[in-house]
């Protein structure tokens, strides 16, 4: 049984039990242990997790309005997310990146995937072939880069990797981001260590990404330590999470060494690279992609019950909340009907006419923003260069980004207005309560 199936089956039994008590929790924990261990999660980590889940499930008092079952699901979800690691958020700014890892870990593929990722964020990214060890390494990166329109530098006649890096930095100096693909070995050794140190000196990178294949399971922990001792890594990229049942083992082992995970590789195509998010990963395993949203709502309701309307009104409207609202709104049907349902017939005509296509475009644009921009719209209102970067990253025109910003401002005004309108607020609250059922009949 794979990890997801095992976890879902254990959780189903728990939520199907008549009562959440010591017996049902202990049974659940035993099944959880079997599943994790058979999927190559380290035994010590598994026992640590079990203890925490048992303690919290049986001793913590659920938040007001949260049933004991929901509480246990929340505990399991949180503790599993902690086990699977923490995120390293790459900076969306000019930088140099060194890729490290053993043979076949996915370095070369991920190098080009990353260049495309940065391109998608409006940053020009080139790659350097510094794997001078393996025959044909040069051609592999060159072809992949060419196919994906990524600037490439390599020198087949130069055996010293550090030299190639120095040349490449000059040749690719018009790029914002430069990514160096280094050579691996079948196992970590002194020769590789020396080579990496010399490349590192020549490059002086901001990021050192260790690339690890998920199929090595918990051995990933030791590997992270070995590399980290040679050149301090800034974070790890776990590849081949699509094809391996040992992903949970690899992630938890890396996390236990204190290393963070920046990206995960989920396939051979260039698009198959995702920013790592342990909650999202666990949500997928458990089969509740919306669990986090759900828990967020749980949390908000309990917080809101203690807030005065004045405090509520002060809550900030950001691009992040805007994107979330777009998503939620679209689930409910065409905008016009939604507003109509709320009795908001005096909405500006412009807004009523927003088509699906336009909303899609908005989402793409918001995706190209940095987290800081999503939290603070003022950063954008003032900065033409930011708007231009976002336009490049999202494949839109600067006018379209400007348009989104100006519509966002209108929405912001409207939100403020609605917050003062008690009737509207009541209707919203009613709607939110209607949507609060647990999935799967829990
Ligand atoms: P390197 O030796 O570390 O440079 O590894 P490569 O980049 O050459 O990758 C080795 C193999 O793994 C290639 O066949 C890649 O297509 C494949 N690969 C890399 N990343 C992934 C991934 O996330 N998922 C899958 N399924 N295959 C991957
Ligand atoms: Mg390679």
Is 438 strand, coil or helix? Answer: coil
In ligand 1, the atom with minimum distance to the C-alpha of 264 is 23
Edge-to-edge strand ranges of the sheet holding 177-182? 152-153, 125-130, 177-182, 95-100, 207-213, 235-239, 261-265, 273-275
Query: Which residue out of 131, 236, 268, 271 has the highest number of ligand 1 atoms within 8 Å of its CB and is therefore the one to mutate?
Result: 268
**CA 158 to centroid of ligand 2, rounded, Å:** 17
**CA 109 to centroid of ligand 1, rounded, Å:** 6
CATH superfamily ID and name for 3-84: SRP54, nucleotide-binding domain (1.20.120.140)
Q: What is the reported pLDDT for 330?
A: 58
* Helix spans in 183-318 (H): 190-203, 219-230, 247-256, 278-286, 291-304, 309-314
User: Residues 218, 253: contact at Cβ < 8 Å?
Assistant: yes
Give the count of beta carbons closer than 10 Å to the beta carbon of residue 316.
11
Q: What is the reported pLDDT for 210?
A: 97
Q: What is the reported pLDDT for 413?
A: 79
The whole-model pTM stands at 0.70
Does ligand 1 come within 6 angstroms of the Cβ of 247? no
User: Residues 196, 100: contact at Cβ < 8 Å?
Assistant: yes
Calculate ∠ Cα 6-12-13, nearest 5°: 95
Q: What are phi and psi of 213, to 5 degrees?
A: -85, 135
What is d(CA 178, CA 273) in angstroms, rounded to the nearest whole number? 18
Is 96 strand, coil or helix? Answer: strand
Residue whose pair of structure tokens reads 């043979």 in the numeric block? 103
Q: What is the DSSP letter of 316?
A: P
What is d(CA 206, CA 94) in angstroms, rounded to the nearest whole number? 9
Extents of the domains making up the chain: 3-84, 95-286, 291-432
User: In this predicted model, what pLDDT tens digit does every residue of 22-56 receive, in sequence order?
Assistant: 999 999 999 999 999 999 999 999 999 999 999 99
CA 98 to chain centre: 21
What is d(CA 77, CA 83) in angstroms, rounded to the nearest whole number? 10
Question: For residue 303, how many C-alpha atoms fall within 13 Å in the half-sphere facing its CB?
Answer: 9
| CATH level 3 topology of 291-432 | 434 Repressor (Amino-terminal Domain) (1.10.260)
What is d(CA 154, CA 171) in angstroms, rounded to the nearest whole number? 10
CATH superfamily ID and name for 95-286: P-loop containing nucleotide triphosphate hydrolases (3.40.50.300)
Per residue of the chain (442 residues), what is the pLDDT tens digit?
Answer: 789 889 988 988 887 787 889 999 999 999 999 999 999 999 999 999 999 999 999 999 888 777 788 888 889 999 999 999 999 999 999 999 999 999 999 999 999 999 999 999 999 999 999 999 988 999 999 999 999 999 999 999 999 999 999 999 999 999 999 999 999 998 999 999 999 999 999 999 999 999 999 999 999 999 999 999 999 999 999 999 988 889 999 999 999 999 999 999 999 999 999 999 998 888 888 766 656 555 554 455 445 444 444 444 455 778 887 777 666 555 555 555 545 444 455 555 565 565 567 777 888 899 889 888 888 888 888 788 999 999 998 889 999 999 888 888 887 777 777 666 666 656 555 554 444 333 332 3
User: Residues 88, 260: contact at Cβ < 8 Å?
Assistant: yes
Does ligand 1 come within 6 angstroms of the Cβ of 184? yes
Structural tokens at position 435: 């949507």
Closest ligand to C-alpha of residue 185 is 1
What is d(CA 299, CA 208) in angstroms, rounded to the nearest whole number? 37
In ligand 1, the atom with minimum distance to the C-alpha of 113 is 20
Strand 207-213 relative to strand 235-239, pairing: parallel
In ligand 1, the atom with minimum distance to the C-alpha of 267 is 24
- Which are the contacts of 48, defined by CB distance < 8 A and separation ≥ 6? none
* Nearest CA residue ID for atom 26, ligand 1: 267
- Which are the contacts of 355, defined by CB distance < 8 A and separation ≥ 6? none
What is d(CA 317, CA 315) in angstroms, rounded to the nearest whole number? 7
Structural tokens at position 266: 């989920």
Element (DSSP H or E) covering residue 336: helix 335-341
User: Residues 180, 168: contact at Cβ < 8 Å?
Assistant: yes
Q: What are phi and psi of 370, to 5 degrees?
A: -80, 160
Query: Which residue out of 99, 107, 108, 109 has the highest number of ligand 1 atoms within 8 Å of its CB and is therefore the one to mutate?
Result: 109
User: Residues 90, 264: contact at Cβ < 8 Å?
Assistant: no
Q: What is the reported pLDDT for 15?
A: 78
What is d(CA 235, CA 228) in angstroms, rounded to the nearest whole number? 9
Does ligand 1 come within 6 angstroms of the Cβ of 4? no
What is d(CA 390, CA 364) in angstroms, rounded to the nearest whole number? 10
- Which are the contacts of 434, defined by CB distance < 8 A and separation ≥ 6? none
**CA 375 to centroid of ligand 2, rounded, Å:** 38
Task: Output the DSSP codes for 55-68.
Answer: HHHHHSPPPTT--H
User: In this predicted model, what pLDDT tens digit does every residue of 207-261 receive, in sequence order?
Assistant: 999 999 999 999 999 999 999 999 999 999 999 998 888 999 999 999 999 999 9
What is d(CA 110, CA 211) in angstroms, rounded to the nearest whole number? 8
Conformation bin of residue 273: beta by default, left when phi > 0, alpha when psi is -120 to 50: beta
Classify residue 292 by burial, with Cβ atoms within 10 Å: 0-12, 13-18, 19+.
middle
Q: What is the reported pLDDT for 145?
A: 98
In ligand 1, the atom with minimum distance to the C-alpha of 137 is 4
User: Residues 116, 167: contact at Cβ < 8 Å?
Assistant: no
**CA 181 to centroid of ligand 2, rounded, Å:** 7
* Helix spans in 1-136 (H): 3-16, 22-38, 43-59, 68-84, 107-120
């Amino acid at each position: 049984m794979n990890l997801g199936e095992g976890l879902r089956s254990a959780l189903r039994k728990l939520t199907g039990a008549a009562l959440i008590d010591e017996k049902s929790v202990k049974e659940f924990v035993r099944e959880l242990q079997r599943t994790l261990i058979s999927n190559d999660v380290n035994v010590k980590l598994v026992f640590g997790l079990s203890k925490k889940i048992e303690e919290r499930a049986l001793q913590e008092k659920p938040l007001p309005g949260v049933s004991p079952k929901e509480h246990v699901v929340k505990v399991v979800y949180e503790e599993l997310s902690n086990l699977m690691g923490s995120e390293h958020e790459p900076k969306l700014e000019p930088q140099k990146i060194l890729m490290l890892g053993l043979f076949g870990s996915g370095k070369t593929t991920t190098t080009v995937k990353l260049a495309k990722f940065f391109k998608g964020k409006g940053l020009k990214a080139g790659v350097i072939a510094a794997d001078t060890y393996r025959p044909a390494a040069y051609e592999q990166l060159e072809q992949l880069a060419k196919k994906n329109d990524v600037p490439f530098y390599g020198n087949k006649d130069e055996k010293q990797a550090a030299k190639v890096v120095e040349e490449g930095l000059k040749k690719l100096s018009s790029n914002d981001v430069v990514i160096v693909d280094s050579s691996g070995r079948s196992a970590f050794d002194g020769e590789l260590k020396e080579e990496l140190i010399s490349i590192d000196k020549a490059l002086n990178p901001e990021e050192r990404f260790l690339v690890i294949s998920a199929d090595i399971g918990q051995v990933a922990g030791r590997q992270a330590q070995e590399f980290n001792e040679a050149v301090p890594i800034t974070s790890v990229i776990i590849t081949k999470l699509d094809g391996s049942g040992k992903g949970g083992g690899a992630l938890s082992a890396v996390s236990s060494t204190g290393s963070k995970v920046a990206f995960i590789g989920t396939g051979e195509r260039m698009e198959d690279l995702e920013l790592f998010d342990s909650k999202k990963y666990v949500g997928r395993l458990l089969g509740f992609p919306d669990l986090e949203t759900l828990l967020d709502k749980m949390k908000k309701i309990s917080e809101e019950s203690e807030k005065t309307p004045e405090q509520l009104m002060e809550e900030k409207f950001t691009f992040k909340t805007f994107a979330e609202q777009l998503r939620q709104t679209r689930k409910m049907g065409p905008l016009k009907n939604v507003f109509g349902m709320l009795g908001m017939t005096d909405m500006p005509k412009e807004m009523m006419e927003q088509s699906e296509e336009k909303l899609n475009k908005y989402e793409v644009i918001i995706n190209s923003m940095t987290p800081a921009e999503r939290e603070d719209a003022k950063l954008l209102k003032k900065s033409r260069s930011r708007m231009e970067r976002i336009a490049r990253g999202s494949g839109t025109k600067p006018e379209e980004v400007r348009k989104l910003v100006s519509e966002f401002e209108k929405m912001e005004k409207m939100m403020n207005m609605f917050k003062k309108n008690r009737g509207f607020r009541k209707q919203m609250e009613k709607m939110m309560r209607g949507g609060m059922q647990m999935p799967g009949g829990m």
